Chain A
Amino acid sequence: MKKVFAIIMGLFLTMLIAGCGKSESIVIYSSMEEERNQALKEQIKEKFPDLNIVVQQMATGNVAAKIENEKENIEADIILGLETSHMENLKDYFADLSDFSTDIYEDGVISSNKYYIWDKYTMNLIIDNKYFKEHKLDVPETYEDLLKKDYKNLISMPDPSTSGTGYAFYLNAVNIMGEKDALAYFKKLKSNVREFTTSGSGPTNLLKQGEIAIAMGMTSQGAKDINDGYDFKIVTLKTGAPYNTTSISIIKNRENKEHLKEVFEWILNDFNKYDKENFMPDVILKNQKNNVDNYPTDLKMADMKGIDDNKLKDELTEKWSSEVNG
């Protein structure tokens, strides 16, 4: 009997201790897509082979929830690619970044010292060219066009409550039509929508799977898919391409962790450049090149007034939640 008891206690202690050590690692929570995270991991391994740096992919909503909940106890040291409105909301938990130079950025991009813009991403309609040709459909040009019966169940849009991409479309519509009409619009649009996806890349994912024909999604993903061989086309609405931004920062009091400043510096300058030039061509950096084929240049920007206003976001998403039944 005593032997059994001892074994059980042993197991219990193992359980407690396991997963406890290794606190000299740097943890990055990244909301970027898998591809970009892969690139980040590879380059980190090359640049900092002796350091233990963990890049953990986590959806924007989850990251925000964790920060709000765990506050300064959070395991992550660096937050990367979190929607700016969340960053603004949670800025008290972030460190002061004034020590880090913003020279790499274009003027006017940086507005806070608690977080720096990581990317600006535009959105457009990405349509399945093959499908459109086969079914002889007209290419939509305005929000109104999307209501056409021809597109029944062929459209997908991210849910504004869970995705910054979705919210950008929503806010743009509100700015153009006014709140009341915008809500009525989306209620109508719902019958053409196959799904309001949780993640921002949901619609383009569905498009790739052949489940829909019109994705309201990120331009960068549309370009990538075209480059991968999918017969898609990027279509900008007459009212312009909505856009949103994500940001990067350091959790308060972690700046002094060993090597952290170094790593952050490198991400902010070197990887930043690489990332923008190869994945996110919308310009935020000085002398930013564009290595992405099929990425439409000189996009007309849509009216995104209030995109960083978190209070507005809360109100609007609340209304979406109760009225559009997203």
Chain B
Amino acid sequence: MVSLEVKNLSKTYNKKTVLNNISFTVNDGEFLSILGPSGCGKTTLLKILIGIETLDSGEIIKNGKNINKLDPAKRNMGIVFQNYALFPNMTVLNNVMYALNIKLKNKKKAEEKSLDILKMLNMEEHLNKYPHELSGGQMQRVAIARTLALNPDIILFDEALSALDADNKLILKKELKEIQKKFNTTMIFITHDQEEAFSLSDRVMIMKEGNIEQIDTPHNIFNKPINDYVKSFVQDHLVEKVRSIEKCTGIDL
């Protein structure tokens, strides 16, 4: 069980307001996407949540405790990057085991657990391969496995699917949903891609220039956009989708 609440968070960089007094909660076990164009503040938000960036004012409350000043290592949050950040000099298995081994101080247990997770992600055949021998999708799985091994309450994804091609993206999206169900991990997904956000999430939080425009289920956002910006955001997306279906089928909708 985990609860995360952000209250009145603000951050200024070089006299520019990057996050403007935002507040929101993340529900236990939910898949929340933070969606917005570049420059809207979502990456900064991620950095602050994870603990590698300081906030100017506001609070982050996890499980009832204020974690503003808490060390990243103690926040029990994991992170998956767009460029995977796998350790190129270690095999798939060792990549996943590395941090776990340090935590558990028990190589055998670490190995067992890592093997389990990798199996669940269909990576058993690649245990002794090095990252450069893997495809993008496989690398991303290893990155996810590495994070999962440490049992984080919340996993943050920083544009994690952006580097993948369409096919791999589809496969990984499916797998992400499965992982979420299996591990019941809360996931916060940063992206600029509406498709990803809308298809994966329980809720979507649309940001613009440091402000939260709307945070709601995809269905609600689509049917009841709170303002013009969200409306055009969604409509454009819808129009695009319709157009692509028209192209594929040849039917004029």
Q: Do A's and B's CB atoms come within 8 Å in the complex?
A: no
Residues of B within 8 A of A (CB): none
